[in-house]
Amino acid sequence: MLAIIEAAGWPIWPLILASVLTLAIIIERFISLRHKEVAPRGLLEGVIQEYRKQGVTAEMLDRLSMGSHLARIFGAGLRNAKAPREVMKESIEEAGRAAAHDLERFLTALGTIASIAPLLGLLGTVIGMVEIFGAQTPSGGNPAVLAHGISIALYNTAFGLIVAIPSMIFYRFFRTRVEALVVEMEQQAIKLVEMVHGERT
């Protein structure tokens, strides 16, 4: 591996940094976007059951505010349970926007890495080509410099694609997961509003 890095030259270091950031973001998002972390199953039924037994209590609101994203949305709505339907819905929408923003954290960085990694690889290619042409003299070329220039060009191109392809795949994957989770939270929040206001049993 060290031999490859040496052969690829200094342009490989930004790509190595990008690959480390990509791996860290992918692991973090896999952990943070688990269904039980965002919208645990059975949460709506449990909240409604507790609400019907003892109404909105400070203990319930505190527990929901420390829970999952969906729990915090429910907590925001239940704080306004006695207000008109529109007020409760607005508070839920505000909490939902904050939750969606949190779910999308680091995805812009992942998409940016997917976009710039091929460009960084291309930069390394250009630098390698410059070395190749710089090795040419009227009396001929230096084979060692020529080989080094070719190594820089090829390794950086390949590594740029190696970083970009998984980054783009996981960026699309996580975007799709976030969209699905947001839609599910919206649907459950609407059910909560309707149940609290007696529009659904």
Instruction: Note whether 157 and 51 are within 8 A (CB).
Output: no
Q: pLDDT tens across 60-87, in order? A: 999 999 989 999 999 999 998 888 888 9
Q: pLDDT tens across 24-67, in order? A: 999 999 999 999 899 999 999 999 998 888 888 889 999 999 98
Closest by CA position to 50, among listed 69, 23, 71: 71
